[in-house]
Amino acid sequence: MEYKQIEFKKITIDHLTCQSCSSKQHKVIGKLTYAYFYIESIPFFPVKKSINIVCNQCDSSFDVDSLSSSAYKTLRKKLFKSYALIPMYSGIIMVLLALSYWQYDKYQASFLSKEYIESPKINDFYYINQTSINDKIIPNKKYVLGKVVSLTPNTVSLVFSRFLFENESSLASDIRGAKVLNDKYFNKKHHVFTREKLINLYQNETVLLVLRPKNSKLFGTIVLTPNLGVNRKVEGYRENRIGLSFMLRTDIQANLEDAERFFLESANKGYVQGQLNLARLYLDSNKIDQALEWSKIAALKGYDLAIEFYTKHCSVSEDCDVAAFNAELIEVGF
């Protein structure tokens, strides 16, 4: 911290007598010393106030110590009025405003994160501290970026970034740098959580922050690209989309029945995403055999997410054989 003295205010008085020339006209100069950091023009707070009295006629200095206490206080009040001193606290005011904005911004981010975690959407981004969910993390590299890739009424599927980070700011840097647009940025493995588990992970600070793109942007950077690879004329595409819209409306049981109906229609038309979504819906309804049956159909067409789904849930059924499934994949060329 550094200090600077300035001439704060000057007034004229005519009730003192100069000891050198007997003139009664005097200038009273109020000098102020203030503290600042780096920039002189931004004072943080005043540290010292002083008064100089000079004769207008001969420039002789008047002995301030000879003034009575009441006279001295009167001059100080005239020179250093409270409202005039407010700008001398500019630095502190700016810091307090910045802290207030930061606190509000932090509160807003926390409020939105809670809202988003309770009502997740595909393409939400998660800041994740892996400490409590992964016992094999590299020391000092515990942060990953997660992204929601699929939803069912009861579960949320995330993919994690291939890279691990030492601090949260690196996650934001990757988003700002549009690195998340790279097809290889996220691992293909799906990490499936129940909605209740995901809320618990947020409450115990495993999920630190949830971001939802607006107009495909976060921090002013494009983070989502339109899926140009999907041909909407493919048989079953339309029915799958309708099924998804029904499945995400979880407040009415009839919606789930409608979702199943459209997914089944899509699956019967051979649309692999419809087949996998139907499998997920069956899994949530504890219809394990039907879930495995439809995911296997999609998997044998080379759909990697269906292969992963079948392999992961095969052990739930006594009749499921992963080795036989892998042999079938090899036989059909996958």
Strands 2-13 and 155-160, bridge-based pairing: unpaired
pLDDT of residue 135: 75
Helix (H, G, I), strand (E, B) or coil at 71: helix
At CA 305, angle to CA 270 and CA 308, rounded to 5? 120
Contacts of 254 (CB under 8 A, 6+ apart): none
Among candidate residues 220, 219, 209, the one with its CA nearest the CA of residue 111: 209
The pLDDT-based confidence of 226 (bands split at 50, 70, 90) is: low
User: Rounded CA gap, 102 and 257, in Å?
Assistant: 46
pLDDT at 183 over 50: yes
Residue 230 inside a domain? The answer is no
Positive or negative: CA dihedral 59, 60, 64, 70: negative
Q: Residue 29: count other Cβ atoms within 10 Å of its Cβ.
A: 16
Q: How far apart are the first and last CA of the chain?
A: 68
User: Rounded CA gap, 136 and 211, in Å?
Assistant: 26
pLDDT at 38 over 80: yes
Residue 94 inside a domain? The answer is no
Average pLDDT over residues 73-98: 88
Query: Is the same domain home to 275 and 218?
Result: no
pLDDT at 215 over 70: yes
The residue with tokens 């008085």 is 13
The pLDDT-based confidence of 234 (bands split at 50, 70, 90) is: confident
pLDDT at 278 over 90: yes
At CA 287, angle to CA 282 and CA 291, rounded to 5? 55
Q: Has this prediction a pTM greater than 0.75?
A: no
Query: Is the same domain home to 6 and 60?
Result: yes
Query: Is the same domain home to 82 and 133?
Result: no
Residue 98 inside a domain? The answer is no
User: Rounded CA gap, 242 and 259, in Å?
Assistant: 7
Total of domains in the chain: 3
Average pLDDT over residues 144-161: 89
| DSSP character string of 171-209 | HHHHHHTTGGGSTTSB-S--EEEEHHHHHHHHHTTSEEE
Query: Is the same domain home to 297 and 321?
Result: yes
Q: What are the pLDDT digits (tens) for 121-143?
A: 889 999 999 988 887 777 788 99
Strand partners, 6: 32
Asked if 280 and 243 count as a contact pair (C-beta separation under 8 A), the reply is no
The whole domain housing 279 covers 237-331
Among candidate residues 287, 292, 297, 301, the one with its CA nearest the CA of residue 322: 292
User: Rounded CA gap, 175 and 126, in Å?
Assistant: 11
- Domain stop point among 179, 195, 222: 222
Specify the DSSP element, H or E, that contains 47.
strand 43-55
CA 270 → CA 138, 195, 303, 325, distances in Å? 42, 30, 12, 20
User: Rounded CA gap, 334 and 326, in Å?
Assistant: 9
Strand partners, 37: none
Q: What are the pLDDT digits (tens) for 53-72?
A: 999 989 899 988 888 888 88
Positive or negative: CA dihedral 180, 312, 282, 194: negative
Query: Is the same domain home to 242 and 206?
Result: no
User: Rounded CA gap, 158 and 60, in Å?
Assistant: 81
- Domain stop point among 199, 222, 245: 222
The residue with tokens 């115990």 is 204
Q: CATH number, domain at 306? A: 1.25.40
The residue with tokens 């200038």 is 27
The pLDDT-based confidence of 250 (bands split at 50, 70, 90) is: low
Query: Is the same domain home to 23 and 76?
Result: yes
At CA 313, angle to CA 268 and CA 136, rounded to 5? 135
Mean pLDDT estimate for the chain: 88
- Domain stop point among 180, 195, 222: 222
Average pLDDT over residues 88-107: 84
